[in-house]
Every structure is written in C-alpha cells, then in structure tokens.
Amino acid sequence: QNQWDVIIVGGGAAGIACCASLLKRRPDLAIAIVEPSDRHYYQPAFTLVGAGSFEPAATCRSTASLIPDGAKWVRSRVTVMDPAQQRVGLDDGQSLYYRALVVAPGLELNLGAIEGLEATLGSNGVSSNYLFELAPYTWECVSQLRQGRALFTQPPMPIKCAGAPQKAMYLSCHHWEQRGCLKDVDVQFHNAGGVLFGVADFVPPLMEYVKRYQAHLNFNSQLVAVDGGARQALFRDTDTEGASHDRYEDFDFLHVVPPQRAPRFVRDSELANDAGWVAVDEATLQHPRFDNVFSLGDACGASNAKTAAAVRKQAPVVAENLIAMLADKPLTARYEGYGACPLTVEKGKVVLAEFGYQGVLQPSFPLNPTVARKSMWWLKAKAMPRIYFDLMLKGHEWLAKPARL
C-alpha cells in the first residue's frame, strides 16, 4: 500500500505522540509512521545518565512496542518530500502518497562542525550527554575526576533542551562538591551565546549555583576544534565590537554540546524556512503554503524551546487541526509556545522553567517557579519518564488541552 490518509515522518517523541493523538480522535485514519530506527530514546533522561542518576537502559525502548495500535510502521528513512505531488520518497526508492503530512524527524547533531570532535568523542575525557552511547562516559569521567580543568560548552541556538549544557555542569559540580574536590577543579562554561538562560526570570537562581560551584562563565565563546590526544580545545571568542580571536584551553574533562540543525532532507525541501527548519504558523503548526502539511517537535520552525515538553502540548494541536483540515473545516486549536526545561541545579533539586513564546512564564503548578525544589527533581527523575511513555506516547493528553484559536 502506498496511499495513506496521514504520513508521519519520524517515530520519535513528536511522531508517536501525534499519531496517538490522531488515532484517539479518528481511529479510522490510515496512518503510516516512517521511522528507520528500531530503538526509541527518552532523551530528557540522558542528563541524569550523565550524572549517574538514571539507568541508561531505561531511556530506551523498542520502536515496535511504541507504535500505536492501528498505525503502520514503515521502517525506512525519508529522503525527499515533494509537497506538490503529496509524496515522500524513501531511501529504498519507494514513494508513499498522503492526504496530510506530519513532519517530525527531530534535528541533526552537527558533530562535523567542530574539527577533531568525532575522532575523540568517547575517549580522552571528551563526552556529550547528547548521545545515548556517550552519556554513561560522561559519568565515568566525572566520577573519576578529582582535580584539573573541566570545560562545558554550549553552541549557538537553537538547540534541543537549551538548558542541558549547563545542567551537565551543575550536576558534575555537585558531585565534586559532595566528594570534597570541587575546590581542585577549575570549572569553565563556554557559551557561544551572550546569556546564561534565554528567559531572564530564571537567571538569578542559576547564578546562585554558578557562584556556589565557583564556575567561570565565558560568553560569546564557541568551541571550534578539539585535539583529544593533546587534551586541548580551541575556542573562538567574539568581543563587543564583533571581532573574533582564538584561544586554546587545556582540559581534563570536556563536555561538548554540538551545534544542531534541521536534517538535510528538510533543509533541502520546499517546506523549509530560511533557517532550514519546517516553516509553520506559530499558532496552528500548519505550513504557511501547503495546507495539508503540519510539523511539530525539534524539526518544526516555531520559536518555542525545542523540548519533549513542547511536544506534549503540540501533539493535540496538530491532531485537532489536521483532522479539521481533512474535513475542510476551519482550524480550531492554538499552540501557545509552551516548552519546559527542568534545570537540574543539584542532585535532588530542580528549577522547573516552563514558558511559552517570548519567554512568557507558563507554570503548571501554583508555586514560585524560580525556586529549586526537591519535588521537581522527583517530577523530572521519576514521574516524567512515566508521563512520557504511559501518557504522552499513548495519546492521553495530560494537562495538554489545546487553547482555542
């Protein structure tokens, strides 16, 4: 069969959640999810794996076990999207045709943008929580380090979970503090951007932890090359006049967050916006030119924070609007840009940053959101993985009722 009511590109958080939300409303829809991987990862827990606080295996499930009943899993990779013909091309040469398309292939880690990185990742004290295979190596390095210099990097925005680069730093520092060796570790945070966190309300509580851990902040400082064997990292610093100069830093441990971009077949498609992400209307998540195309998740070009939390709110919006579009009715559901970043400032405490478009705070709980709390650690480490697998990926729209247009 190569004709479908709905084709969903990607069976990650966004693809599966959206499929479940669609089938909950219209079980009769013929839906194909195109997903090449037989493994599905709960990536928000990678940060905890990197801190020795979560079992790596518990972040991973088989794709087969998560495909909603009633949907067809096409185990393939989309290479071309041809919206004029309502067609996607697959890597085996097949074409599939749709009435509606949902583009949710996530984003691409651009490891090649940092010279020497691929050759040394996973050795020489160079790690990244952004890769399932490497998060355990982060913990190995952190738990073995007693003294020396630890560098944590953050690339230019946008990235998925913008808080994750500094979360790795706080949890590492907390471990060294508990071991009594933090005073012997020179901790440096190199941020390609100019602010610690994009939503100003959360900067003061984070700065308290930066001070407590005696971490040094280097803004407008971008990692451009790594020599693992020599344990040297090259940073390009940009000054206030826009002039750049390079400097080398020695390290004993280097936690890298690679630059990120839309997958190539998205960047190369007619659906892309100027930055390469899937163009969408910020409220409806519908493509501005192709009415039968929607996008959500990390590949989507809306200006929200790229998080699984955002997907939880986006999935019902796309499901409701796509079904209205198929029935030739006006769209009704509005996405308000919700995203969340549980900032793990110490092992056992989280500042839960929840906000929408333009950084407007959208707290789910009647509590001051800028305070680090044990309850929010529990939410992050214990409740969220279950909410993800048992509610979000099953189409139970917990606290995710869409606003009206």
Provide, rounded to whole angstroms, the least separation between the CB of residue 242 and ligand FAD: 31
**Which residue, 44 or 369, is less far from ligand FAD as judged by CB?**
44
List the beta strands (DSSP E) in 42-165: 60-62, 71-74, 78-82, 87-90, 95-103, 108-109, 126-127, 148-154
Q: Quick check: 15 and 8 in contact, CB under 8 A?
A: yes
Q: Please list the helix, strand and coil fractions of the chain in percent, rounded to the nearest 5, in that order.
A: 30, 30, 40
| Binding of residue 276 to ligand FAD (CB under 6 A) | no
- Interface of this chain with ligand FAD, residues 334 to 353, rule: CB under 6 A: 340, 342
CA-to-CA distance for 335 and 400, rounded, in angstroms?
10
Pick the piece of the chain touching ligand FAD (CB under 6 A) from 157-165, 193-201, 244-252, 361-369. Answer: 157-165
The pair of structure tokens assigned to 247 is 């400097």
Cα dist. 284→16, 70, 327, 335 in Å? 19, 25, 16, 6
19 carries an active-site annotation: no
Q: Measuring CA to CA, which residue among 161, 158, 150, 130 is closest to residue 343?
A: 161
Pick the piece of the chain touching ligand FAD (CB under 6 A) from 28-36, 119-127, 146-154, 389-397. Answer: 28-36
Q: Say which residue the tokens 């214990």 belong to.
A: 382
| Binding of residue 78 to ligand FAD (CB under 6 A) | yes
| Binding of residue 311 to ligand FAD (CB under 6 A) | yes
- Interface of this chain with ligand FAD, residues 87 to 116, rule: CB under 6 A: 104-106
| Binding of residue 44 to ligand FAD (CB under 6 A) | yes
Q: Nearest-CB residue to ligand FAD?
A: 12
Exactly one of 14, 169, 215, 256 binds ligand FAD (CB under 6 A); that residue is 14
**DSSP label of 121:** T
Q: Quick check: 136 and 58 in contact, CB under 8 A?
A: no
| Binding of residue 68 to ligand FAD (CB under 6 A) | no
# residues contacting ligand FAD (CB under 6 A): 37
Q: Measuring CA to CA, which residue among 352, 355, 362, 307 is closest to residue 199?
A: 355
181 carries an active-site annotation: no
Exactly one of 22, 31, 164, 226 binds ligand FAD (CB under 6 A); that residue is 164
| Binding of residue 354 to ligand FAD (CB under 6 A) | no
Rule CB under 6 A: which residues touch ligand FAD?
A: 9-15, 34-37, 43-44, 46-47, 77-78, 104-106, 129-130, 160-161, 164, 263, 265, 297-299, 306-309, 311, 340, 342
Would you name the residues annotated as active-site residues? 161, 341
